[in-house]
Amino acid sequence: MDLRDRVNTALKQAMKDKAATRLTTLRLINAAIKDQDIAARTGDGDGLVSDADILAILGKMTKQRNESVRAYEEGGRLDLAERERNEIAIIEEFLPRQLDDDEIAQAIDTAILEVGASSIRDMGKVMGQLKGKYTGQMDFGAVGPMVKEKLS
């Protein structure tokens, strides 16, 4: 079952269970996917984004909510921060397991070897390799400096 079907199945189940928070979050996910579908439409394309694109959407949604949690906590709005955390938990159900630090380091080393990177100029190739294999499994904002350090 692809990711789009898993989200739709969970959405239908949330409707049956009358789980309001879960239903709202799943509808947000569905809307974000449909927005990307519309943006992907071209004259000859089918207008459907791939699972890798959906993983990127989910990763972005998680990142946005983590930033909101920090902002709400700094502003003393713990109720809103908790709501964002609940949404994060629902979104993360559809993301693959996150790699730990050792696995990330190993993935970076492997990607450097695979693309034959030798200097900082090859950073884009390494990041492209990592994004191709590990979309949704690591935070590329945090991985970038690690790759840069290894190539320096």
Using one digit for the tens of pLDDT, what is the confidence trace for 113-148?
888 888 888 888 888 888 888 877 887 888 888 888
Q: Please check whether residue 6 is in contact with residue 94, taking contact to mean a CB–CB distance below 8 angstroms.
A: yes
Give the mean pLDDT of 17-35.
93
At 16 the pLDDT is: 94
Three-state secondary structure call for residue 94: coil
pLDDT for the residue 115: 86
**46 or 90: which leads in pLDDT:** 90
In this structure, the answer to whether residues 73 and 118 fall within a common structural domain is no
CATH code at 77?
1.10.1510.10
The predicted model scores a pTM of: 0.74
Of 92, 113, 132, the residue that ends a domain is: 92
- Domain count of the fold of the chain: 2
Statement to judge: residues 32 and 54 lie in one domain: yes
For 61-110, the pLDDT digits (tens) are: 988 999 999 999 999 999 999 999 999 999 989 988 888 888 888 988 89
Residue 112 sits in a domain whose CATH number is: 1.10.10.410
Q: DSSP letter string over 80-122?
A: HHHHHHHHHHHHHTTSPPPP-HHHHHHHHHHHHHHHT--SGGG
pLDDT of residue 118: 82
Range of the domain at 70: 3-92
Residues 55 and 116 in one domain: no
Q: Answer whether residue 44 shows pLDDT above 80.
A: no
If asked whether residues 63 and 34 sit together in one domain, one would say: yes
What pLDDT, on the 0 to 100 scale, is given for residue 43?
58
- Which pLDDT value is given to residue 61? 92
Q: What is the pLDDT of residue 143?
A: 87
Indicate whether 69 and 143 sit together in one domain: no
Where does a domain end: 54, 71, 92?
92
